[in-house]
Amino acid sequence: MRKVAIVGLAQVPVKENWTNGLRELAVTAVLDAMDDADIKNVDALYIGNMLGSNFSDQSNLGALISENAALDVNEAVTVEAACGSGSAAFRQAVLAVASGTVDTAIAVGVEKLTEYSEVSPANGLATAADADYEAAMGLSFVSINALLMRRYMHEYKCDKNNFAGFVINAHKNAVHNKNAMFQSAITEANYNKAKMIADPINLLDSSPISDGAAAVVITTADKASQYTNKPVLVTACEVGMDTIALSRRANPLRLKAVENSTARAFQVAGIKHQDIDVLEAHDAFSIMTTLALEAAGFAEFGKATQLAKEDIIGINGRLPLSTFGGLKARGHPVGATGLYQIVEATLQLRNEAPDAIQVPEPRRAMTQNIGGSASFVITNILERI
Amino acid sequence: MDIPRVWRLIPQRYRLEGTQCSNCDAIQFPPMMICPECKSRNQKPYNLNGKGKVYSYSTVYAPLTQFEDMAPYVVALIDLKEGTRITAQLTDVAPADVNIGMDVEMVIRKISERGSNGVISYGYKFRPLIDF
């Protein structure tokens, strides 16, 4: 397999974007990423999207986006793995280039959740769960995470307050990210007073409903210098799988897919936990951050909330987390999220993050993108050359 | 849910019909076409008896569109006596009275309606166990 590098990137501001639809969001990200790489065409386009057919009445995004971006591609296709769709599309692009099938590819993630008024976006998000045995019984996606949070608090005798540090950190970083949905800090008092959505998950435990698109251009490491003087190597992009329904797991608090995806990624990249300088985790809910940090081996089971402190996960800590605000504060346009994480990690490694959130001279970044209740997980390791 | 799906799910929703593996006896819910333990495709229907304990629960305040009229309501993961777990709503109990480990039993209730003229679907919910 050939070595692969990221040579261009772009992101559209995350928000409730009433003026743009799927096509405008995706085409903007694709064209801006090509401008960043100073490349005129690519061989293939891989699209991460979850809900185009639910909320935009649009499937066949490969044709829609390649035509509207005036791309002359050999191949353009959507890859879907719920909230993990963005990284799933990235993986197809990486594999296509690594295998020698294509020399250049774009991975774009795009999501448009604010199109319909008669059906809640929650209905679309719930399709990530088991339709017959979870969603059809009245479980929103938030409530599935709430079942995990309640059990976690019960088993580990943990106060809800313990999760606040993750949320405060994400918002603090997002203040400096002009593409973030919430560019505002919050306090522990705000967190404690927030409205319940699915007890014990409140509004500030949760990432927001948002629209967005982000893209990267990739090629081989050998050709990367043709396009950029700051290429970033993709040293691992590895998947882990688990059951679709929570009820089918022996111990739902141990995210097997996170464990397997992380272990494979570390093995492929030849690294250990202490080698990670920046971590973009899938903080869709504060409980998911917690469980993923434990399953990935950054904390012992039951102890991840002890990491939720400024001197550990802050920009100058030993494990900078959600450095652009994470899903919580940058926003979570589901199928685009994996690519926002990759774009942000790449900006960190290029030393191009805004000053206040630039991690000092990072060498290696990890992004982890989770689909469903951690039924599909991708861990990416990116390295500065 | 529309008619074909409502009908297809009747065995599970009305009588908790799962499967038992003819090879290794493992019991599954929902029904499996292949045993996840021994990979045998020889699976027979098995009715769960509907008694269990709450493993975890949540009160839903922001429901899916078709459940808006019922909110807030309680959803739960329930450990069934047979060793499998099931996801369901709790009923006949105030949210504040639910706790982990509570004994519950299956009852049939209305689950949802599809619009004002659509199919009304029924199925399992769980209530606190009543000893007679």
Q: What is the mean pLDDT of chain A?
A: 97
**Active-site residue flag, A237:** no
State the residue for tokens 């003026």: A19
Quick check: B109 pLDDT over 70?
Answer: yes
Please list every residue in chain B whose beta carbon sits closer than 8 Å to the beta carbon of residue A136: 1, 9, 111-112, 121
CA distance A316 to A261: 27
Quick check: B44 pLDDT over 70?
Answer: yes
What per-residue confidence (pLDDT) applies to B132? 64
The Cβ of residue A268 has, within 10 Å, a number of other Cβ atoms equal to: 14
Interval A252-283: pLDDT, tens: 999 999 999 999 999 999 999 999 999 999 99
Q: Nearest-CA neighbor of A169 among A286, A292, A273?
A: A286
> The whole model's pTM is what?
0.98
What per-residue confidence (pLDDT) applies to A117? 79
Average pLDDT over residues B53-65: 96
Average pLDDT over residues A123-151: 96
What do you get for the CA distance between the two ends of chain A, in Å? Answer: 18
Interval A268-325: pLDDT, tens: 999 999 999 999 999 999 999 999 999 999 999 999 999 999 999 999 999 999 999 9
Quick check: A194 pLDDT over 70?
Answer: yes
Whether residues B87 and A139 touch (CB distance < 8 A) is answered with yes
DSSP A321: B
Please list every residue in chain B whose beta carbon sits closer than 8 Å to the beta carbon of residue A151: 55-56, 77, 100
Interval B7-16: pLDDT, tens: 999 999 999 9
Phi, psi at A191, each rounded to 5°: -60, -45
Q: How far is B1 from chain A (nearest CA, A)?
A: 8
Quick check: B72 pLDDT over 70?
Answer: yes
What per-residue confidence (pLDDT) applies to B3? 87
Distance from CA of residue A204 to its chain's centroid? 18
User: A335: pLDDT confidence band, cut at 50, 70 and 90?
Assistant: very high
Question: Which among A122, A133, A197 has the least Cβ separation from residue B30?
Answer: A133
Q: Does A251 touch chain B (CB under 8 A)?
A: no
Collect all residues with Cβ–Cβ distance below 8 Å to A107 and sequence separation of at least 6: A46, A47, A48, A86, A89, A90, A92, A93, A94, A215, A216, A218, A339, A342
Question: Which among A122, A134, A135 has the least Cβ separation from residue B62?
Answer: A122
CA distance B24 to A11: 52
Q: Does B123 touch chain A (CB under 8 A)?
A: yes
The residue type found at A46 is Y
Interval A9-29: pLDDT, tens: 999 999 999 999 999 999 999
**Active-site residue flag, A83:** yes
Structure tokens at A40: 């005129």
Quick check: B47 pLDDT over 80?
Answer: yes
